[in-house]
Amino acid sequence: MFRNNYDNDSVTFSPQGRIFQVEYASEAVKQGSVVVGLVSKTHAVLVALKRNAEELSSYQKKVIAIDEHLGLALAGLASDARVLSNFMKQQSLSSRLTYGRAIPLSRLVNSIGDRAQTNTQHYGKRPYGVGLLVAGVDETGPHLFEFQPSGMTQEMVACAIGARSQMARTYLERNLDKFADAGREELVVHGLKALKESLAQDKELTVENCSVGVVGVRGEGMKAIEGFKLFDGQDVKQWVDMVAEGAEETAEEGMDVDS
Amino acid sequence: MNHLPQAWGRPRDDVYGAYDHAYLQNGPKQHTQSPAVTGTSVLALKFKDGVVIAADNLASYGSLARFTDVKRLRKFADTTVVGFGGDVSDMQYLDRLLNSLDIEEAYGGSSHTLNAQNLHTYLSKVMYKRRSEFNPLWNQLLVAGLDGEGKPFLASADLLGTTFSSPSLATGFGAHLAQPLLRKVAFDEEAAAKLTVEEAVEAIKESMKVLFYRDARSLDKYSIAVVTKDGIDLKQDEKLEKQSWAFADQIRGYGTQIN
Amino acid sequence: MVFVQVSPRLRFPSKFPKLSFSVKQFEANHVTGADLYFVASGIQFGHANQTRASGAWRAQAPDGCQTIGFKPSHHSITSTVVPNTFSTSIGTGYDLTNSVFSPDGRNFQVEYAVKAVENGGTSIGIRCKDGVVLAVEKVISSKLLKAGANKRIATVDRHIGAVSSGLVPDGRHFVSRARDEASSWRSTYKTPITVKDLASRMGGYLQAYTLYSSVRPFGITGIVAGWDSELELPVDGQVGSGPKIGSGGKVEGKKYGGPGLFMIEPSGQYWGYYGAATGKGRQTAKAELEKLDLAAGKLSLQDGVKEAARIIYVAHADNKDKEFELEMTWISSLDGPTKGRHEEVPKDILEEAEKLAKKHLDDDDDEEETKEDDKMEE
């Protein structure tokens, strides 16, 4: 019987130059519930679908605030995300302490990318089994980054990762042109709509299973920061109601609807 | 039983005998106890659009005028000037430190640059860390530039890790001789915000002249820089003009006096 | 696990007798929802992403040059099979561990790392008389990527840039190490590292990753480019004028400094180049670079930028179905546009070069079409 001998560890290349352990790690991302991120000229938004293990258990945290100016959403192994987010919190604080400056996002994201890469090149380590969307603002405005277990990091205009996220990405690609000039509320609604696309047939968005993270810039010269804020429970009701069944028709005006 | 705090946590003399200092034959490990080759005063004054900063080009070895072309104003990234008083080799160390910081900052393109305020925070941490290791960098620094909001920024950090900010600052002898003169033109922030660049430069040059008259470790060749949002105008080989030594024969109490 | 049984008709070219697929039956081993593995005689020879539920699947065989298309409904293989250059490696066990020699003296893990490079976007470097250009083809994998962000050419020191083809995160590791080398050189010698010395250090670093079974080689080929100052440089941290004669050890009449361009392979092997190319389109790019007669040292930096853009466009033509972004940086001489620094090629110059590149491609296409038309008429 055929057996793939090249997938036992992350220090073995397959004859095609692939590293299967890393590819398998990105499968772990697809096991996590979906998260969506998107940016406008003024804001960066994260929305996430939370899962609970059973009816009476709490929901898994999907969005983590890192610093005043940024936060992240995760899909995959939550404990790996905690390791990375703790590291990011340290880096952010260290920048504030040493320079009195909010750390530039690209630098922070690169630092976890470099860390993740190390795990793919040394025996006895395993790749991180988590994908992240990092959203925040810095001197150059709002940003959204995607982080993958391979250590790949990319700046995106919008992105969705996790289970069934292809549907959300399709929504984002279709509405890509609308994000740049969208207002804060509008951006959140787009995020939730994308999230909704990825829901399983019998699921719907509720205040229990939705998380929203918002961060932005405002004021003259976009210098003032609207700090990263996490919304859960009743705080997301306003937005969940806007994308609920029925409310859709009126809100969807001018938007192409799949049937 | 000895209940005094200084005995807490130590082996009891009545059980173990008195502490044996014999192993410390060479005495305790010592770091720098005094500077070697030194630069004297640095002067700086804020005005409405920026900061003027100046230092002479002398490095003394004790009372010997050892080097007469030493540039004690160092540029950082075309946005900030750091003026160094005190030990010259420690200044060179710091200069290299700033150089490598500048290179690191430029990795990500030109979008993120540390402003003068960030740089001062960084330098003060370096100074404080070194003094906490009982191995201070024997300098007093003035950092001149603009802060995050584009307003003039001027602050000092010294070998103890002490920081200070004021519309006018001076190190070394200048702190005694020039500071009162500078305060006459800019008593507070409000007054400094009214100064033109010409007035500020004039005040600094006049103070440099007074220092040359009275500080035996000073020189009439100096560097002067004007930092504004348009960049740095640094001149490194200026000569004090319109000197008048007419007051000299009025001085009593030094050297051979005839009458 | 799902097994797809197909009975293909195979056509083996007779010049490849080594290929011993004598079976009449192929198994497509459906391992996950997305992946198919092709197996013959118990040996895996291909793998495919299931992009469509029906229609043709495409499989890439281990050496990366086999393409097998078949339609499950027709149960037949439609394209030819070429032999596997790794047929001596697979199944022997010598290719499963880094740092292990095979009986014929090869380290297969290093060769497989090269495969990762060969699938990456094309990178090139051109050493001109008054500077060096770096260019990279960035294949756009998603519409959601932010245009113009995600830079792939990095600054290593003020005067040196680096780019790589292959696994992008490995490329970042490469750059990170290069920066550390450049920085530690400065703190030791109080002067910038030369491009040659950096290449040497990086060659040593990559080589170390072929020595141990506890690591894997880098899945990249890196290109480093820079300009070593032709003038007497102040020592880092120098505050006075120093001795008037400058540093010693110089040969009279010899020219110091100038452009540098080096390419470092996963094995750690490195060479200096007039024109370097790596990644998917390297063959095409190399052919184009050779036409430039760079060894003559006549090409100016300004023209080099245009050539670099054109070559990336030409090299991409083989991969036309995917969109790409061109990224270019340069390092000029001290009296040139970047004053010896590694910088992005300014937007207007880049756009001009891209316009020319596109025009060149269109002209070429027209030419070919007219040729074919002629033949038709004949």
ipTM score above 0.85:
yes
Residue B256's pLDDT band (boundaries 50, 70, 90)? low
Query: Can you give the length of chain C in residues?
Result: 378
Query: Which one, of C243, C245, C229, C248, lies nearest residue C191 by Cα?
Result: C229
Give the closest-approach CA distance of C220 to chain A in angstroms. 10
Amino acid at C126: I
- Whether B31 is covered by a domain: the verdict is no
- Answer yes or no: is pLDDT of C70 > 70: no
Give the closest-approach CA distance of C89 to chain A in angstroms. 9
Inter-chain CB proximity B103 and C157 less than 8 Å: yes
Tell me how many residue pairs between chain B and chain C have CB atoms under 8 A apart. Answer: 43
Inter-chain CB proximity C237 and B99 less than 8 Å: yes
Cβ neighbours of C218 (radius 10 Å): 31
pLDDT of residue A172: 98
Partnered with residue A46 across adjacent β-strands are A37, A213
A108: which 2 tokens?
């922070």
CA B110 and chain centroid, separation: 28
Chains in touch with B (3+ beta-carbon pairs under 8 Å) read A, C
pLDDT of residue C92: 79
Q: Which domains, ranges and CATH numbers included, belong to chain C?
A: 108-229+256-374 (3.60.20.10)
CA B56 and chain centroid, separation: 12
- How many Cα atoms occupy the beta-carbon half-sphere of B15 within 13 Å? 5
Query: Of the listed B32, B68, B171, B228, which one is catalytic?
Result: B32
User: Are residues C247 and C236 in contact, defined by beta-carbon separation less than 8 angstroms?
Assistant: no
In sequence order, what are the residues at sequence separation of 6 or more whose Cβ sits closer than 8 angstroms to the Cβ of residue C247?
C232
- Whether B118 is covered by a domain: the verdict is yes
Inter-chain CB proximity A17 and C90 less than 8 Å: no
Query: Which one, of C139, C131, C166, lies nearest residue C261 by Cα?
Result: C131
Query: Which one, of B211, B223, B241, lies nearest residue B41 by Cα?
Result: B211
A3-17, A111-125, B84-98, C84-98: least confident range:
C84-98
CA dihedral B12, B17, B22, B24 (to 10 degrees): 0
Residue C139's pLDDT band (boundaries 50, 70, 90)? very high
Q: Which of B59, B95, B109 sits opposite C237 (nearest CB)?
A: B95
- Answer yes or no: is pLDDT of C66 > 70: no
pLDDT of residue A157: 98
Inter-chain CB proximity B92 and C237 less than 8 Å: yes
For chain B, what is the domain count? 1
- Answer yes or no: is pLDDT of B27 > 90: no
- Answer yes or no: is pLDDT of C81 > 80: no
Chain C residue with the nearest C-alpha to that of B101: C183
DSSP C102-163: PTTS--HHHHHHHHHHHTSPPEEEEEETTEEEEEEEEE---TTBPTT-S--SEEEETTEEEE
**CB contacts, 8 Å: B122 with chain A:** 98-99
Q: Which of C155, C186, C239 sits opposite B100 (nearest CB)?
A: C186
CB interface of C with A, residues 84-103, below 8 Å? 86, 89-90, 95-98
- Answer yes or no: is pLDDT of C193 > 50: yes
pLDDT of residue C16: 37
Give the closest-approach CA distance of C154 to chain B in angstroms. 7
CA B4 and chain centroid, separation: 43
**CB contacts, 8 Å: C112 with chain A:** 13-17
Residues of the domain holding B193: 37-240
The predicted model gives B42-46 an average pLDDT of 98
Angle (deg, nearest 10), helices C282-291 and C301-316: 140
Q: Which of C155, C183, C239 sits opposite B70 (nearest CB)?
A: C239
pLDDT in tens, B112-153: 679 999 999 999 999 999 999 999 999 999 999 999 999 999
**CB contacts, 8 Å: B117 with chain A:** 100
CATH code of the domain containing B134: 3.60.20.10
Residue C58's pLDDT band (boundaries 50, 70, 90)? very low
CB interface of C with B, residues 135-174, below 8 Å? 151, 154-155, 157-158
- Answer yes or no: is pLDDT of C9 > 50: no
- Whether B6 is covered by a domain: the verdict is no
pLDDT of residue C371: 55
B228 catalytically annotated: no
Which residue out of C146, C265, C327 would a mutagenesis test of the A interface target, given it has the greatest number of A Cβ atoms within 10 Å?
C146
Query: Which one, of C90, C53, C84, lies nearest residue C68 by Cα?
Result: C84
Inter-chain CB proximity C237 and B67 less than 8 Å: no
Mapped onto helix, strand or coil, the DSSP state of residue C203 is helix
- Whether B99 is covered by a domain: the verdict is yes
Q: How far is CA A190 from CA A251, C4, C76, in A?
A: 11, 41, 46
d(CA B68, CA A183): 61
pLDDT of residue B12: 84
pLDDT in tens, C15-32: 333 333 322 233 333 333
User: C241 versus A128: which is more confidently predicted?
Assistant: A128
List of chain A residues with pLDDT < 70:
1-3, 222, 246-259
A49-58, A126-135, C214-223, C231-240: least confident range:
C231-240
Residue C251's pLDDT band (boundaries 50, 70, 90)? confident
- Answer yes or no: is pLDDT of C51 > 50: no
Query: Can you give the length of chain B in residues?
Result: 259
**CB contacts, 8 Å: B125 with chain A:** 97-98
pLDDT in tens, B166-225: 999 999 999 999 999 999 999 999 999 999 999 999 999 999 999 999 999 999 999 999
Q: Does B125 touch chain A (CB under 8 A)?
A: yes
List of E strands, B103-228: 139-146, 152-158, 163-165, 168-170, 221-228
> Which letter does DSSP use for residue B137 in this model?
-
Q: CA angle at residue A171 from A167 to A174, to 5 degrees? A: 135
Q: How far is CA A154 from CA A35, A92, A107, A151, in A?
A: 16, 19, 12, 10
Cβ neighbours of C281 (radius 10 Å): 26
A207-211, B202-206, C287-291, C374-378: least confident range:
C374-378
In sequence order, what are the residues at sequence separation of 6 or more whose Cβ sits closer than 8 angstroms to the Cβ of residue B158?
B127, B139, B140, B141, B171
d(CA A170, CA C144): 10
Cβ neighbours of C67 (radius 10 Å): 14
The predicted model gives C40-67 an average pLDDT of 40
Burial of residue B59 (number of CB atoms within 10 Å: 0-12, 13-18, 19+): buried
Q: List for chain B the helix, strand, coil content (%; round to 5).
A: 30, 30, 40
- How many Cα atoms occupy the beta-carbon half-sphere of C325 within 13 Å? 15
d(CA B167, CA A20): 62
Q: Does B77 touch chain A (CB under 8 A)?
A: no
User: Average pLDDT of chain C?
Assistant: 80
- Whether B66 is covered by a domain: the verdict is yes
Q: Which CATH number fits domain A20-254: 3.30.200.20, 3.40.50.300, 3.60.20.10, 1.10.1060.10?
A: 3.60.20.10
- Answer yes or no: is pLDDT of C227 > 80: yes
- How many Cα atoms occupy the beta-carbon half-sphere of B245 within 13 Å? 7
pLDDT of residue B26: 81
Query: Which one, of A171, A186, A170, lies nearest residue A45 by Cα?
Result: A186
pLDDT of residue C130: 96
**CB contacts, 8 Å: C236 with chain B:** 95-96, 99
Residue C241's pLDDT band (boundaries 50, 70, 90)? confident
With tokens 């080009």, the residue in question is B57
**CB contacts, 8 Å: A14 with chain C:** 62, 112
pLDDT in tens, C198-213: 999 999 999 999 999 9
